[in-house]
Amino acid sequence: MLRIVKRPVALTIAGSDSGGGAGIQADLKTFAALGVHGTSAITCLTAQNPRRVLGVEPCSPKMLRQQIDAVFEELPPRAVKTGMLFTAENIRVVAEFFGRRTTPSTASLVVDPVMVSTSGARLLLPAAEKVLQEKLLPLAALITPNLDEVEVLLGRKPDSADEMRAAAREMFRRFGCPALIKGGHLRHRASAIDIFFDGATELELASRFVTGVSTHGTGCTYSAAICAALALGRDLPQAVAMGKKFVTAAIAESYGAGKYSSLQHLNSYGRRNRKN
């Protein structure tokens, strides 16, 4: 008799990357590698490759809401992550949905405040920044900004581990949610460090820089791995640590695709770590 293994469900609300390295595509590969059933609500189409973004076309707010409704109707996720939301209207759709849910604790919300692509293209319209801060961030179980995004949110860019710690604490005070400050752009260090703070627990997560690869989609993969870990029942500090290990392995095992490097979303990592 066929034995059906039941997997927890996670939802990504993000943009589509036609190059396959970031966005919805990276999120679903990460969910699959970690043993989670991935669902999606696409916020916008992008015409992009690892070098540049040629165009962005947002989904209508009505269609975005219908996608989220459809997932929750039959495949209620244990955890949700947002990535590229792009417009103020679509941020409001997400914020209104999660703000009105009668049992919000059933789905932890990880917000990756995607603002600018690796190639420098804007992935969040300027008019949407205030809505993101006022409507969505206070609903998050975790926010995962990189240093450039911290600068937009707080008005200053951390330049050291101590400044990252201060930024994580200010994020918690200002938005009322835990923060993971990603320090991968502090290139004068020997290791890539991230700082997590949830109001009580502070973690410093460090890994050696992987040289010789030009990565794309690391932030998406990192937040998706945290989302998957939450769907698997990990608490938030455990999920953040699991996400760090996963994205570090994905970078270290990068493979060539055309002229570029692509993250390896390792199925073997997922099998080894589902029970860890």
Query: Between these two residues, 94 and 210, which has the higher pLDDT value?
Result: 94
* Chain position carrying tokens 């992009």: 48
For residue range 130-145, list pLDDT tens digits in order.
999 999 999 999 999 9
CA atoms within 13 A on the CB side of 224: 36
What DSSP designation does 26 have? H
Whether 238 has a pLDDT exceeding 70, the answer reads yes
For residue range 48-105, list pLDDT tens digits in order.
888 888 999 999 999 999 999 999 999 999 999 999 999 999 999 999 999 976 544 4
- The answer to the question of residue 275 being in a domain is no
- The answer to the question of residue 233 being in a domain is yes
- The answer to the question of residue 245 being in a domain is yes
Whether 116 has a pLDDT exceeding 60, the answer reads yes
Whether 187 has a pLDDT exceeding 80, the answer reads no
Q: What residues pair up with 192 in beta bridges, in sequence order?
A: 207
CATH number at residue 175: 3.40.1190.20
Query: Between these two residues, 173 and 273, which has the higher pLDDT value?
Result: 173
Active site residues: 182, 215, 217-220
Q: What is the mean pLDDT of residues 190-219?
A: 86
What is the pLDDT, as a whole number, of residue 25?
95
Q: What pTM does this model have?
A: 0.91
- The answer to the question of residue 32 being in a domain is yes
Instruction: Give the whole-angstrom CA distance, residue 237 versus residue 248.
Output: 17
Whether 161 has a pLDDT exceeding 80, the answer reads yes
The answer to whether residues 74 and 45 touch, using CB atoms and an 8 Å cutoff, is no
Query: Between these two residues, 214 and 4, which has the higher pLDDT value?
Result: 4
3-state secondary structure of 260: strand
- The answer to the question of residue 2 being in a domain is no
Q: What is the mean pLDDT of residues 236-251?
A: 94
Query: Between these two residues, 82 and 211, which has the higher pLDDT value?
Result: 82
Return the sign of the alpha-carbon dihedral for residues 231, 232, 236, 237: negative
In this predicted structure, which of 16-20, 35-39, 52-56, 183-187 has the lowest mean pLDDT? 183-187
Q: What is the mean pLDDT of residues 176-193?
A: 85
* Chain position carrying tokens 């690796």: 118
Residues 6+ apart with CB under 8 A from 4: none
Whether 118 has a pLDDT exceeding 80, the answer reads no
Q: What is the mean pLDDT of residues 191-209?
A: 92
Whether 268 has a pLDDT exceeding 70, the answer reads no
The range of the structural domain enclosing residue 191 comes to 9-269
What is the pLDDT, as a whole number, of residue 270?
46
The answer to whether residues 174 and 168 touch, using CB atoms and an 8 Å cutoff, is no
Q: What is the mean pLDDT of residues 9-24?
A: 94
> For the chain, what is the mean pLDDT?
88
How many domains would you assign to the chain? 1
Percentage of the chain beyond pLDDT 70 is: 88
